[in-house]
Structure 1
Amino acid sequence: MYCPQKSKFITFVSLFTILAGVLVICGWLLNIDALKTLIPQYVTVKFSTAMCLCFLGVTTLLTQQSPKKNIRFALITLSIIVALFGLFGLLQDLLQFHVVTDQFFNGGNDTLTNTNYSYNSYATINTSICTLLLGLAFLLLGYKQQKIQLIGQYMLHVVTLISTVAIIGYLYGLSLFYKFSYVSSMPVHTASLFFGISIAAAFLHPQYGLTNLFTGSRVGNQMARKLFLPLELIFVVLGFLRFKTQYNHLVTLEVSIYMLPLIMLVICLTIVALTAIWLNRIDEKRSAAENEVISINSSLEKRVAERSVELTALVDKLGESERRYRLLIEHASDAIYVLNFDNNFTEVNASMCKMTGYSREELLQLNLVNLIEPGHLKIDPIVLSPDELAEAVIKERRFLKKDGTSFDVEVNVKKFSDDRILVIARDITARKAMETELRLAELKFRTLAEKSMVGIYIVQKRKFTYVNPRFAQVFGYSQEELINAPSAAMVVSEQHRDIALEHIRARLAGEIDSIDYEAIGQRADGSLNWVEFYGNMVTIDGEPTIIGSMIDITERKEAEELLRQSELKYKLLFDSNPLPMWMISKDDLSIIAANKAATRHYGYTIDEFLQMNARDLRIEEDWSAMVDSFNKNTSDSGDQGIFKHQRKDGSIINVQIITQDIVFNGRPVRLSLANDITEKIKSEELLRKSEANLQTILNTTDSAYALFDKNLRVLAYNTMAAKFIKTQYKHEQDGADLPADYFPIERFPQLEKFAGQVLTGHHVSYEIDYQQPNGDTMWYDVRLLPIIDSNDLILGLMISLYDITERKNAESDLKAAYERIHAQINSIKTMAWKQSHFMRSPVANLKGLAAMLKDDPGDATALAYVMFELDRLDAVIIEMANDAAIHED
């Protein structure tokens, strides 16, 4: 079905119809008359009719399930089966032929002898019509077209009409449709089931046909529902009186005729009374609603008058706030502009004009789309709908200047209550470049050890067993003092110490494996700072151990607290800027205003600032240049450069000064913003030194090193690597080259395979040989290692090659010497064997012949044998001597 209505009534009727059909089928199968009739003393329900009722009940029940492909197929199949049953029954009645459907179940006991009947299994013509119409209706309701569904709905209404007429016929004792067939009319229980299933099916699509009249929520629909059942009661009562008069003779015809108008009068009066009560309730609700509206209007008029007075005062405050807001916007160092929901500029400040290169008039004629790089706009389209801007949104964009150059900005987008959009943009091109440099530096330095800028600690038995210098530095202790401390919680303040001890206990007890929490730390001098601890529980030498890291988040916490307070109190006003700002009078260089950031950064209080001169912040060497700068007028805000400032404690810092000349309270003043870049300069210098150290290490080692990204693009290599490529591949290495450009074809697949293993976290090592033009062989030990960042993300791989030719040659020589020694041993074994076998026989014979000559010295035969054995012995000795000479060679 296409979006059928779900209803408990439909489910109940479906289950009841299935139950009735199953009972009749069981009666036919088991030959139980009580089940065949369903109601005692009534006509039996045919087997084919019971099957159709079961199928119709199942079909209706399936419409209450979630729409699935299998369910839709079952609905269509069952509907076709029901329609075929109805069609065959109708053809039997019209064409007088018999398709043996029920004959198998009546056992031949119910065959009629009347010549007008062949079998009593024929369904009545109105039953067949209802079955056919129901099957076709379910098929049509399954289509998505409304017209086809409407035809199916009216087929259901026809079934309802036929079954209703049959029921009324039984109430009045009249047989229907005799002129259409030779069988009896539809049984009353069959008509009732058809009536129920047609009504339930009609409720699947209540928006079609007559069903819509009774299912709507309007007054007419409610009236139809209330009047329909009482009107039906009139026909039931008439039928009941007719039935009792004709068959039971409870009352006479005259009495029944008298009672008829009386009962109709009572029913009509009841209908009128119920309708009047219902309409009176509606009128009472309407009157109450009108009175409530009148009361609400009165209260609203009073509230409007009160609000008008308040709004007048607020308008005056708003005017003053608007003036101060525009002053701050215009002289802010960040670019600020206001858009409408069509992305058109409605306001821009001077910083925005300077950043983009357009004048204010040009920007006000442009759309935001004109300033965003097309490629970036395609990837990240503009979304300025009210729903998307319920809260402030911070993201990065790539803008185009008037001259066509692109630059990166960070935008903070917030919707005003009047559906305007405020955007604060900051040029982050330098920051993005630095981020790129830092990522490359991290890739280069990742494989080498360097001092961690994060505090590292190890805790066993609730005491530190190791802390790195950064950890000790954050808390102002030496490493030895912390390691010898009685408890690891001594670096946590009293208010958070119990929490820290509980976290240590839980991890050492094995209740949790890792934890991340923030706490207030306590330095050696008693001062407090904010720190963030990360720790995991491991086992070292059988002892539960906590290994973790610590980050000093004091500045972040202070910045977060400052930002939160500033946003709540002042928002975009002067004191909300996190960088030091002050107003300096141009005539006498006195400081007439300073924000809280300046007091924190320079150590002076606001009152102290107001008593100071601009010279007090500069070193003496810069005074002359500063005076010359104040004598010049700068209508536009601009970067004045980098200068040295002196804090209250005497420390010197490098700051970037951005200024704007304005008129404040009638005095020419200069609004200055100071950006402390001391740490940035130190970081850049440290980065240059570290990179130089790395290059020195790589270029002085005797191993070849090369760093690759995940696409096997060369990121860095040392001189030994360039020498190896030039010697073995006859190629001059270029940074843009890929290994596939010069690697031997037969070796590159193996390199790709090993690189794939390394990029999944494995280490690969093997030995490889290269044949030289002079016939020699060069051997190298090759190792491939993954490059992993602090988040365990694999960024690329490193390949190292070490020349092991001398070692391989030594191994080859050792193997040859071993083979020669083995040959000598075999030769010695042969000589020993000859000594023990070839010499033994002549010596033994000589001993025997010597005994014979002793007895008879003149025995010539014995003497001849002695000479023969002596020759044999001499030949063996000569052969052994030759073997020895060969061995010496």
Structure 2
Amino acid sequence: MKNQCKTLAYVKDAIWSFDVANQKFEYLNERFANLYELSLDELERAPFAWRRLVHPDDYYLVKRETEKVYNGESVEIEFRIIVNGITKWLSDKKTPVLDDNQNVTMIVGITSDITTRKEKELEMARSEYIYRYFFVNNPNPLWIYDIKTLKFLAVNHATIEKYGYSEEEFLKMTIADIRPREDVSKLVSEVKKVKNRFYQSEGWRHINRAGKIMYVNISGHGIEYEGKKAELVMIHDVTAEVKNKEEIIIAKRNLDTLINNINDLIWSVDQDYRLISANASFERLTTMAFNRKLMPGESVLQPRSGDESIDKWKGYYSRVLRGESVVFINVSSAVKGSTFEIRMRPIVNEDKVIGVVCVGRDIQKRLDAEKRMILQNTELKEIVSLASHEIRGPVTSLTGLVNLFNKDNLSDPFNSDVISLIQKVTNELDTVIHKIVEKSYSIQVDNEAIYSSPQNLSDYE
């Protein structure tokens, strides 16, 4: 017996036996005393001294389970004790020893320090709780799916809210069920590439319960979940961004169509005199000028044989880049017979000039019309002169001759001379009238040439 006791003294767990009838320990090894940091003598004098060290939250658990042993049951419990301010976790296995009459005479037990294991378990439980909390309550849709079967294994609240299916419905579905049929083959191909690492993927389409298409980007990471190879996926809904981009593209196409159907030259340059953008009219003219299309990013100050206008154009651009607005007339060397009115204004971003926007309008027709109007004014003045001088003389002569006509004696020979003179003056007056008619017709022809020619509607501001 002594040898057995010596052997038990070296066991790392606390070994003990308790005499029920005498309410004292029959045996205690040193380990039991060490667990509670009580001496063996103290435990022999006060066998229940250890109970005051039981954690208050676990005291009634220990008491209840101990009573079961007194009633003949074997129990195994885990509880905490507080020793010198330090909490320990213990595992206590208690077994009753019965006599022939089935009365409990002795209780034997093994008490183990499980603090390290329990702390790890609690830490894992806390980590699991934190993971579950952030998974379930994450504001972004999250799910876990089985890589082999594509079945949903877990979904969070945001996924249920976003897609409209219940959790039970999701767990009966696969990730292929929320995609357009034509996208499934791409999905299967991408799933095969999933590794135990983070990745991002863009340009996916999903379908919610209502059948609405959503454009999404995906962040994912391969994991093991409930013994299965799986992937944790976060969804980023970019439907609004995609729709905005589509609207911007449509608006740009409409604007490009509008600008490219304007006869005016429209172009812009940056601070280094490089072309930013241009309409079709500008491209046609510069192609004629340089025998090739001027591409965005190229300098608009392109040298041409015999062209000494680079410094002039650079001067205009530089003035606008300093904040001025410039208007000037330029006679085109690329298109003979064309004169352009050039308007340049600064492009400003956050109070800083970052470029120049330019509009060039062919005003040659307007200039030609102005010249014709000047000629017409000269001809009108001639008509006025004819009317005021060359007509006035014959009219005055006619008036005088009429007064000389002998109305009382029509057979008066002098009347014959008067009639001859009237005839002469009438011929002179007819010649003047023909001149006026010719001048008027010339003006009418010029007006028809001006106003019947096709005009650029943008000329009329």
Q: Scaled by the length of structure 1, what TM-score is found? A: 0.29
- Counterpart for residue 784 of structure 1: 220
Report the AA paired with residue 808 of structure 1. V
> How has the CA–CA distance of structure 1 residues 716 and 596 changed in structure 2, closer, same or farther, with 3 Å as cutoff?
farther
Q: CA deviation at 1:692?
A: 5.2
> Is 2:372 the partner of 1:845?
yes
Of 71, 90, 93, the match for 1:655: 90
- Counterpart for residue 392 of structure 1: none
> Distance in 2 between the 1:846 and 1:742 partners?
74
Query: Helix, strand or coil: the match of 2:201?
Result: strand
After TM superposition, list the pairs within 5 Å mapping 1:666-745 onto structure 2.
669-676=106-113, 691=128, 693-711=130-148, 712-724=150-162, 726=164, 733-735=169-171, 737-739=173-175, 744-745=180-181
> How has the CA–CA distance of structure 1 residues 818 and 883 changed in structure 2, closer, same or farther, with 3 Å as cutoff?
farther
> Distance in 2 between the 1:674 and 1:738 partners?
50
- Counterpart for residue 613 of structure 1: 46
- Counterpart for residue 866 of structure 1: 443
Is the strand fraction higher in 1 or 2?
Answer: 2
After TM superposition, list the pairs within 5 Å mapping 1:122-201 onto structure 2.
none
Q: CA deviation at 1:753?
A: 1.7
Report if aligned partners of 1:655, 1:678 keep a CA contact under 8 Å in 2: yes
Q: CA deviation at 1:658?
A: 1.3
Report the AA paired with residue 107 of structure 2. R
Q: CA deviation at 1:766?
A: 1.1
Report if aligned partners of 2:164, 2:208 keep a CA contact under 8 Å in 1: no
Report if aligned partners of 1:660, 1:672 keep a CA contact under 8 Å in 2: yes
Deviations 1:760-815 (A, max 9, x none): 646231123457999975322233333489xxxx9532222222222222222222
Report if aligned partners of 1:785, 1:799 keep a CA contact under 8 Å in 2: yes
> Distance in 1 between the 2:137 and 2:69 partners?
54
Is the helix fraction higher in 1 or 2?
Answer: 1
Report if aligned partners of 2:164, 2:209 keep a CA contact under 8 Å in 1: no
> Is 2:16 the partner of 1:585?
no
Report if aligned partners of 2:162, 2:208 keep a CA contact under 8 Å in 1: no
Report the AA paired with residue 659 of structure 1. K
Report the AA paired with residue 722 of structure 1. I
> Distance in 1 between the 2:211 and 2:50 partners?
75
Report if aligned partners of 2:152, 2:174 keep a CA contact under 8 Å in 1: yes
Report if aligned partners of 2:70, 2:96 keep a CA contact under 8 Å in 1: no
- Counterpart for residue 397 of structure 2: none
Deviations 1:31-84 (A, max 9, x none): xxxxxxxxxxxxxxxxxxxxxxxxxxxxxxxxxxxxxxxxxxxxxxxxxxxxxx
Deviations 1:346-371 (A, max 9, x none): xxxxxxxxxxxxxxxxxxxxxxxxxx
> How has the CA–CA distance of structure 1 residues 576 and 717 changed in structure 2, closer, same or farther, with 3 Å as cutoff?
farther
- Counterpart for residue 192 of structure 2: 756
Report if aligned partners of 1:839, 1:873 keep a CA contact under 8 Å in 2: no
> How has the CA–CA distance of structure 1 residues 641 and 701 changed in structure 2, closer, same or farther, with 3 Å as cutoff?
closer
Higher relative contact order (CA 8 A, sep 6+): 2
After TM superposition, list the pairs within 5 Å mapping 1:430-829 onto structure 2.
573-605=7-39, 607-608=40-41, 611-619=44-52, 638-642=74-78, 645=81, 647=83, 649=84, 653=88, 655-661=90-96, 669-676=106-113, 691=128, 693-711=130-148, 712-724=150-162, 726=164, 733-735=169-171, 737-739=173-175, 744-759=180-195, 761=197, 763-769=199-205, 777-787=213-223, 796-829=230-263
Report if aligned partners of 2:75, 2:94 keep a CA contact under 8 Å in 1: yes
Deviations 1:452-473 (A, max 9, x none): xxxxxxxxxxxxxxxxxxxxxx
Q: CA deviation at 1:865?
A: 3.4
Query: Helix, strand or coil: the match of 2:240?
Result: helix
Q: CA deviation at 1:672?
A: 1.5
Q: How many residues align?
A: 305
Report the AA paired with residue 583 of structure 1. S
Deviations 1:69-117 (A, max 9, x none): xxxxxxxxxxxxxxxxxxxxxxxxxxxxxxxxxxxxxxxxxxxxxxxxx
Report the AA paired with residue 766 of structure 1. E
Report the AA paired with residue 614 of structure 1. P
Query: Helix, strand or coil: the match of 1:785?
Result: strand
> How has the CA–CA distance of structure 1 residues 739 and 658 changed in structure 2, closer, same or farther, with 3 Å as cutoff?
same
Q: CA deviation at 1:618?
A: 0.9
Query: Helix, strand or coil: the match of 2:259?
Result: helix
> Distance in 1 between the 2:239 and 2:178 partners?
23
After TM superposition, list the pairs within 5 Å mapping 1:346-365 onto structure 2.
none
After TM superposition, list the pairs within 5 Å mapping 1:57-96 onto structure 2.
none
> Distance in 2 between the 1:775 and 1:868 partners?
69
Segments of 5+ residues of structure 2 without an aligned counterpart are 99-104, 266-358, 387-434
Q: CA deviation at 1:684?
A: 6.1
> Distance in 1 between the 2:456 and 2:72 partners?
115
Report if aligned partners of 2:69, 2:95 keep a CA contact under 8 Å in 1: no
> Distance in 1 between the 2:85 and 2:133 partners?
38
Q: CA deviation at 1:610?
A: 5.5
Query: Helix, strand or coil: the match of 1:618?
Result: helix
Q: CA deviation at 1:724?
A: 4.9
Query: Helix, strand or coil: the match of 1:871?
Result: helix
Q: CA deviation at 1:706?
A: 0.8
Query: Helix, strand or coil: the match of 2:23?
Result: coil
- Counterpart for residue 157 of structure 1: none
Report if aligned partners of 1:710, 1:759 keep a CA contact under 8 Å in 2: no
> Distance in 1 between the 2:363 and 2:261 partners?
14
Report if aligned partners of 1:586, 1:630 keep a CA contact under 8 Å in 2: no
Report the AA paired with residue 812 of structure 1. E
Report the AA paired with residue 868 of structure 1. V
> Distance in 2 between the 1:778 and 1:721 partners?
13
> How has the CA–CA distance of structure 1 residues 738 and 578 changed in structure 2, closer, same or farther, with 3 Å as cutoff?
farther
> How has the CA–CA distance of structure 1 residues 576 and 747 changed in structure 2, closer, same or farther, with 3 Å as cutoff?
farther
After TM superposition, list the pairs within 5 Å mapping 1:152-301 onto structure 2.
none
> How has the CA–CA distance of structure 1 residues 802 and 626 changed in structure 2, closer, same or farther, with 3 Å as cutoff?
closer
Deviations 1:249-293 (A, max 9, x none): xxxxxxxxxxxxxxxxxxxxxxxxxxxxxxxxxxxxxxxxxxxxx
> Distance in 1 between the 2:191 and 2:45 partners?
65
> Distance in 2 between the 1:726 and 1:758 partners?
27
Report if aligned partners of 1:769, 1:780 keep a CA contact under 8 Å in 2: yes
Report the AA paired with residue 759 of structure 1. K
Q: CA deviation at 1:616?
A: 0.5
Query: Helix, strand or coil: the match of 2:218?
Result: strand
Report if aligned partners of 2:14, 2:28 keep a CA contact under 8 Å in 1: yes
> Distance in 2 between the 1:732 and 1:883 partners?
69
Query: Helix, strand or coil: the match of 1:604?
Result: coil
Q: Scaled by the length of structure 2, what TM-score is found? A: 0.50
Query: Helix, strand or coil: the match of 2:160?
Result: helix
Query: Helix, strand or coil: the match of 1:758?
Result: coil
> Distance in 1 between the 2:49 and 2:95 partners?
20
> Distance in 2 between the 1:764 and 1:775 partners?
25
Report the AA paired with residue 721 of structure 1. T
Report the AA paired with residue 733 of structure 1. E
Report if aligned partners of 2:20, 2:107 keep a CA contact under 8 Å in 1: yes
Query: Helix, strand or coil: the match of 2:448?
Result: helix
Matched residues, percent identical? 13
Deviations 1:281-319 (A, max 9, x none): xxxxxxxxxxxxxxxxxxxxxxxxxxxxxxxxxxxxxxx
CA root-mean-square deviation: 4.9
> Distance in 1 between the 2:453 and 2:183 partners?
59
Segments of 5+ residues of structure 1 without an aligned counterpart are 1-319, 329-569
- Counterpart for residue 530 of structure 1: none
> How has the CA–CA distance of structure 1 residues 707 and 883 changed in structure 2, closer, same or farther, with 3 Å as cutoff?
farther
Query: Helix, strand or coil: the match of 2:363?
Result: helix
> Distance in 1 between the 2:12 and 2:118 partners?
20
